[in-house]
């Protein structure tokens, strides 16, 4: 696995003194499935590689975690998906504790899980759907960016990018740009959304030795950064489904990410030649990461049904 770490990722890992290690992962199967655990892909099977949220400092990839309800939703509502795999990536720790596992630890762990699906289990990237919620959406974007930028690298054998990317309430800007917008979602929905308004601890723990400036200037960390000097491109990304809650604190940065991806990839279902690759779905009045909550109906089931229709025509 260490041989898959190259370029910018290798530089960031050296600076943060991060190495690849073995991590656990969890399989969840569709109810009634007769597929054996860890078995090779079945004909026509699509798998969801799910990266959990939790601001990089909490929660788990385990199916009993609240974020595991997203994977269960895919298994219930999405016809082509029979299995979900979620890695238990290392969580960042910040001061006053002993700092550890800062960026790019989680990206390295996500890459390890993706490599496992491709080179151990035997899935083609064309049959993998990378999904992430909240901070996991940030991580899903970063993993896909790495796979896009370094595929075909002569020095290493980086697996190709997935067939589809699904970003659920992605934490797309770890800087302050969207938080200080007058009348922005970060202020408008404070007290309505359940998210706390201050993510200083999580930001500090995640950026670590790279400093908080990385939250505004690194495209792997904040693809929706509003820093005036920030530049980013999404050329080469797979078709993408972006989900936002109409009453969540992160709504503005999610919309910024959506606009940037549409600019590079086009808006639409991304099925026929010439169609755009980006589909945006916003549930009115829904809170952050509403797919986690079984009580968030009918928005939750309607969103999964929209995803099913989107994937069905691919």
Q: How do residues 122-154 score in pLDDT, each as one tens digit?
A: 999 999 999 999 999 999 999 999 999 999 776
> How do beta strands 81-87 and 25-29 pair?
antiparallel
The predicted pLDDT at position 242 comes to 98
Task: Name the DSSP class of 121.
Answer: I
Average pLDDT score over residue span 184-204: 93
For residue 91, what pLDDT band results from cuts at 50, 70 and 90?
very high
In the chain, how many domains are there?
1
Check if the beta carbon of residue 291 is closer than 8 Å to that of residue 248. no
* In the predicted structure, residue 256 carries a pLDDT above the cut 80: yes
Instruction: Say whether 214 sits in a helix, a strand or coil.
Output: helix
* In the predicted structure, residue 238 carries a pLDDT above the cut 50: yes
Average pLDDT score over residue span 81-88: 97
Q: Which domain holds residue 25?
A: 2-312
For residue 115, what pLDDT band results from cuts at 50, 70 and 90?
very high
As given in the structure block, the two tokens for residue 135 are 């901070």
For residue 168, give the CATH number of its domain: 3.40.50.1820
The predicted pLDDT at position 274 comes to 47
Phi, psi of 204 (to 5 degrees): -65, -40
pTM above 0.85, yes or no: yes
Phi, psi of 96 (to 5 degrees): -80, 0
Computed over every residue of the chain, the mean pLDDT equals 95
* In the predicted structure, residue 21 carries a pLDDT above the cut 70: yes
Beta-bridge partner residues of 49: 85, 130
The predicted pLDDT at position 314 comes to 64
pLDDT tens digit sequence for 257-303: 999 999 999 988 755 544 689 999 999 999 999 999 999 999 999 99
**Cα angle, residue 311 at apex, residues 305 and 314 outer, rounded to 5°:** 150
Task: Name the DSSP class of 161.
Answer: P
The predicted pLDDT at position 275 comes to 63
Peptide bond into 96 cis (omega under 30): yes
- Higher pLDDT: 12 or 156? It is 12
Q: Tell me which residue of 205, 18, 21 sits closest to 98, measured CA to CA.
A: 205
Q: For 7-45, b where at least 16 C-beta lie within 10 A, e where not — what string?
A: eebeebbeebebebeebebbbbebeeeeeeeeeebeeee
* In the predicted structure, residue 155 carries a pLDDT above the cut 80: no
């Amino acid at each position: 696995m260490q041989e898959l770490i190259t370029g910018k990722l290798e530089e960031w890992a050296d600076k943060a003194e991060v190495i690849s290690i073995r991590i656990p992962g969890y399989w969840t199967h569709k109810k009634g499935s007769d597929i054996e655990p860890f078995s090779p892909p079945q004909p026509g099977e699509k798998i969801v590689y799910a990266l959990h949220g939790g601001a990089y400092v909490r929660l788990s990839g385990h199916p009993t975690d609240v974020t595991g309800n997203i994977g269960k939703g895919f298994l219930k509502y999405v016809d082509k998906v029979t299995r979900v795999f979620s890695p238990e990536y290392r969580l960042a720790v910040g001061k006053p504790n002993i700092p550890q596992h800062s960026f790019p630890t989680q990206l390295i762990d996500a890459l390890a899980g993706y490599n496992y699906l491709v080179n151990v289990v035997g899935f083609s990237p064309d049959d993998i759907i990378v999904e992430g919620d909240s901070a996991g959406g940030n991580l899903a974007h970063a993993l896909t960016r790495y796979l896009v930028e370094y595929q075909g690298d002569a020095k290493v054998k980086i697996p190709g990018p997935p067939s589809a990317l699904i970003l659920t309430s992605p934490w797309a800007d770890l800087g302050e740009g969207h938080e200080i917008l007058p009348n922005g979602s970060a202020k408008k929905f404070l007290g309505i959304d359940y998210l706390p308004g201050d993510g200083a601890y999580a930001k500090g723990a995640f950026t670590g030795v790279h400093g908080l400036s990385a939250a505004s200037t690194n495209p792997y960390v904040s693809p929706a950064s509003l820093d005036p000097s920030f530049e980013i491109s999404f050329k080469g990304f797979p078709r993408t489904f972006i989900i936002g809650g109409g009453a969540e604190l992160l709504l503005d940065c999610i919309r910024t990410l959506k606009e940037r991806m549409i600019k590079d990839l086009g808006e639409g279902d991304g099925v026929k030649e010439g169609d755009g690759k980006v589909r945006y779905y916003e549930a009115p009045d829904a809170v952050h990461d509403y797919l986690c909550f079984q009580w968030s109906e009918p928005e939750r089931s309607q969103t999964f049904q929209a995803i099913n229709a989107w994937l069905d025509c691919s």
